[in-house]
Structure 1
Amino acid sequence: MKYLILLHSHPEPWGHPVEEFTPEFAALSAEERERHFAAFEALLGRLHEKGELVSGEPLGDPAKASLYEYESGAAKKSAGPYSATKDHLAGFFLIEAKDQARADEIAAEFAAPGQTVELRPIWTGAV
């Protein structure tokens, strides 16, 4: 089953890797930051080797987003970002996991200071 791991963060300024631009990550020691990035690279390697990592992409600055709403029979464009909160969607990873428990294990490994990780199953049409 496929799942989408959504990374929400609030870097200032916007940049990638988003952790480097959050106060929570900046508060870590240099050794802790180095360990985090090494562990993340190892995680991506393991997921790739097991065939569980399908794809992933960082997203651009939400201030450059455009919103399209359907209004009065037509699409209306307005400037982003969509969310009024400080957190925005920073990137995503599409994974393939044998079950929900494995998807939960993988998503938990994506957690990082200054980020919230959301795990959502890909819709299959089954209820």
Structure 2
Amino acid sequence: MAKLPGKYELAENKNFYEYLVELGVPEDRAKNAKEVKGTLEVKVDGNKVTLANDNPPHTTDYIIGQEVDEKMGEAVLKSTASLNGNVLTISTIRDGKPSGTRTYTFSDSGLEIVFNSSKDGKSLSASRIYKRI
């Protein structure tokens, strides 16, 4: 778990705008989300992993293996985190149905978050790449 904690700065988005639009996010909000540059701080305390974004400000505490409520915009999701080495996976349920995963792969130089969802039977994915600061 040594590679997880730290501060990370967003360096690149891959297919993020398109992913958000496909999920139904209004284009103006998707464009704003794509343009946001900020940092993500990751803290680990036992089985608790805290992810804190500074722009927009948003913090969520995940307990490995336990479902937690996670606020995303106006929705409250049920999310469960699992940890396998330097890979943190967060599986999310919305309205009682699986809605996707976020896979955080940590390295000495940074972090890549891969978003996977499906809508109307179509698989959707995007990624955000962060450098460790």
Greater share of residues in strand: 2
The TM-score with structure 2 as length reference comes to 0.25
Greater share of residues in helix: 1
The TM-score with structure 1 as length reference comes to 0.26
Rg larger in 1 or in 2?
Answer: 1
